[in-house]
Structure 1
Amino acid sequence: MRAETFLAQVQERGKYSTPQKAERAARTVLALLGAHLVGEVRAELAARLPESFALILLNPLRATEPLPPERFLRATAAWIEGATEQTAASDVKAVLSVAADAAGEDLTNRVLLQLPPGYDLLFGRPQHP
């Protein structure tokens, strides 16, 4: 997927007024996500993203513990100037749903296995019990 296509989809899903706002959200969310993924799963996801975003995923912030979805949203809000938990939820869902589309079903399921319960909703892939 090309960077322009990725950002256009994030911009549309997040209802951002500019591509720059979509890019800021994408960079923040992917950096935080990268801190929670390891090994082949992180490398495979990176390979399906545009190079500039793949590098962010592969060189993540360091997480001291896996963040439950609620704390992931708070962390996102803290990193995006002027964001609230509500706007961060929109940011995270826009970015992660586009990443899930790029990854495909199988890889997205393997990503979700590395994350605490509840991330399926953030990826736009609710798991049915």
Structure 2
Amino acid sequence: MSLTTVPSATTGRTAPATVIPAPSHTHRPASDDNGWTRLIEAVRESGQYVTRPEAESVTRIVLSALGGHVIGDERVDLARALPEEAARLVASQIPATRPLTAAEFVDSVAARIEGATPATARWDVSSVLSVLPPLVGDDLITRILTQLPPGYALLFGRADLSPAS
């Protein structure tokens, strides 16, 4: 299987993987602006966005879209692990009536970003979702991927391994 990196619609650059240090505590302080700022900066670096507002806009759109597709304990645990502003974006979404395939999810994000194509939206989605595992923990990401249709692992920066038939 070969992977192709797609440049961002706005920067035209490809990005290396970005690591966000995991928080040293599980309780989020009442005001977590610093956590939100770190998340946005990690997305900015991952997606090589020129401006912080651009990275913040993409982050808001992708987390809102994800919030409708993660349900149950995983949704609660994801919201608890994220900075307060990100948690609100995830938790405030109405659950989707049907799970979207990974490609449909990317297309739904493309529809929310002016001028986006499926390729640039995939870049944007991956720029946000790939910074989540170090922030929220690999175990939670594994649980989230278990409830999503096949194909999402690549969006989170993981190999998408399927059992042999």
Q: 1:77 aligns with which of 104, 110, 113?
A: 110
* Residue ranges of structure 1 left out of the alignment (5+ in a row): none
> How many Å separate the matches in 2 of 1:79 and 1:92?
12
CA RMSD, Structure 1 to Structure 2 (Å): 1.2
> How many Å separate the matches in 1 of 2:101 and 2:109?
12
2:90 paired with 1:57: yes
Q: Once superposed, which parts of structure 1, at least 4 consecutive aligned residues long, lie more than 3 Å away? A: none
Report deviation, 1:101: 1.9
> How many Å separate the matches in 2 of 1:115 and 1:5?
26
Question: Which residue number corresponds to residue 107 of structure 1?
Answer: 140
> How many Å separate the matches in 2 of 1:79 and 1:31?
10
> How many Å separate the matches in 2 of 1:36 and 1:68?
10
Report deviation, 1:81: 1.2
* Residue ranges of structure 2 left out of the alignment (5+ in a row): 1-22, 24-34
Q: Percent identity?
A: 44
Alignment: residue pair count: 129
Q: 2:59 aligns with which of 26, 36, 55?
A: 26
State the SS of the aligned residue for 2:111. Answer: helix
2:101 paired with 1:68: yes
Question: Which residue number corresponds to residue 29 of structure 2?
Answer: none
Question: Which residue number corresponds to residue 155 of structure 2?
Answer: 122
Cα contact 1:9–1:98 (8 A) shared by 2: yes
Report deviation, 1:61: 4.5
Q: Which has the larger radius of gyration?
A: 2
> How many Å separate the matches in 2 of 1:61 and 1:14?
27
- Residues 14-59 of structure 1: CA distance to partner in whole angstroms, max 9, x if unpaired? 1111111111111111111111111111111111111011001001
